[in-house]
Homo-oligomer: A and B are copies of this chain.
Amino acid sequence: MKNRTITVFAPATVANVACGFDSLGFALNEPGDVIKLTRRDEPGIRITRITGDNGRLPLETDKNTAGVSVKALLEHTGEPCGFDIEVHKQMPLGSGLGSSSASTVGAVFGANLLLDKPLTREQLLPFALLGEKVACGAAHADNVAPSLLGGFQLIRSYDPLDVIEVPHPEGLHCTVLHPHIEVMTEDSRKILRQSVRLKDAIVQWSNFAGLVTGLITGNYPLISRSLNDIIFEPVRSLLIPGYDNVKIAAMDAGALGCSISGSGPSIFALSTSMAGARNVGDAMLASLKKTGIEGDVYVSPINKTGPRIVEEG
């Protein structure tokens, strides 16, 4: 068999989604990572090139998210071939946008295609999670699942893994503001307490049930009222300078809701149209700049398909 090459794009994701901590995530049309894979006849996985990471990501296969997950996939299929993998980061690391998930999802998605699709997307999930575990020390399926499957994905259970698509209204759009500061997922975890007050948990899960109901039934006012996080946002937002004002700016500009993306520092807002989401982005960025911090704004509908082929051959 001749070498074959494929280039794929895998989307960034917003995890946690206010009241849906560790449980709900959704995919964006941009940003995302681009992964180029070349299938070789000889066995072995090599990470041949990484761009856009300022030299921070490991080239060793067993330490690289993409390398680990493709290696596991290859072992599973038993195919006697190998892969060269290029990882082109097109979004910031440690941004709260599921950067490592996008790389690992792109890698397993592309490798599966070059293996002539022995597995469905759903079946690829455990392999992508392996890569995420290497990168973060824990498998955060609320980033990996939406990056791989698109849409809103609910992680009902980790053990056994049970991932459910939550339908969402067509008009829903997302604005993401990435402030040019870095918050490591680990620090953002450390700041959280290991127990929560029962009364706060009740408020949180009532909002979560409201959010899911609003998404499925296309009830925007309900989505808006439910997009609250009374447990994590008050603590984690302390690590994001100007957060409160950015959120006020988003809401004043007409956002349905606004909260921290993943473990931050990116901030997401939901709107009912592309134009609305753009307005919200302008307002959020203007507010951030007042604190002397620059940022990038991404505006996109909810990504419905997950990764896609950029180039084949």
Chain B residue contacts of A289, Cβ below 8 A: none
The smallest C-beta distance from A128 to any residue of chain B, in angstroms, reads 19
* Interface bin, chain A: 35 or more
Q: Please tell me if A275 contacts chain B, counting CB pairs below 8 Å.
A: no
Check A213/B216 contact, CB under 8 A, given A23-B205, A195-B195, A196-B195: yes
**How far is it, in angstroms, between the C-alpha of A24 and the C-alpha of B301 when the chains are bound?**
31
Q: Which residues of A203-218 are within 8 A (CB) of B? A: 203-213, 216-217
A220 to chain B, nearest CB (A): 13
Q: Is the CB of A198 within 8 A of B192?
A: yes
Identify the interface centre among A19, A198, A199: most chain B CB within 10 Å of its CB. Answer: A198
Stretch of A60-68, A161-169, A292-300 at the chain-chain interface: A161-169
Instruction: Tell me, yes or no, whether A155 is within 8 Å of chain B by CB.
Output: yes
Q: Is A238 an interface residue, CB under 8 A from the partner?
A: no
User: Given A157-B225, A204-B205, A209-B23, do A198 and B197 touch, yes or no (CB 8 Å)?
Assistant: no
Q: Knowing A194-B197, A212-B212 are in contact, say whether A206-B167 is a contact too (CB < 8 A).
A: no
CA–CA, A12 to B198, complex, Å? 26
CB-based contact A196/B194 at 8 Å: no
Query: B209 and A156: CB pair below 8 A?
Result: yes
Q: Are B194 and A154 neighbours in the complex by a CB distance under 8 Å?
A: no
CB distance from A97 to the nearest CB of B (A): 21
Chain B residues within an 8 Å CB radius of A205: 19-21, 23, 201, 204-205, 208-209
Considering only CB atoms, which chain B residue lies closest to A162 in the complex? B225
In contact, A209 and B209 (Cβ under 8 angstroms) = yes
Distance between Cα atoms of A201 and B164 in the complex (Å): 19
A65→B199 CA distance, assembly (Å): 25
Interface residues of A in 20-36 (CB under 8 A from B): 20-24
Closest to A23 in B: B206
Once the chains bind, are A23 and B202 in contact (CB under 8 Å)?
A: yes
Q: Are B157 and A206 in contact (CB under 8 A)?
A: yes
Whole-angstrom distance between the Cβ of A159 and the nearest chain B Cβ: 10
CB distance from A177 to the nearest CB of B (A): 26
Sorted nearest first, the 6 A-B pairs with minimum C-beta distance are A156-B210, A205-B205, A23-B206, A201-B201, A195-B195, A209-B212
A-B contact pairs, 13 of them (CB 8 A): A22-B202, A23-B202, A154-B209, A155-B206, A156-B226, A157-B225, A162-B210, A164-B222, A166-B209, A195-B197, A195-B198, A208-B209, A216-B217
* Known contacts A21-B202, A196-B198, A196-B201; 12 further A-B pairs (Cβ under 8 A): A22-B202, A24-B209, A154-B206, A154-B213, A156-B206, A157-B207, A164-B213, A164-B222, A194-B199, A195-B195, A201-B204, A209-B211
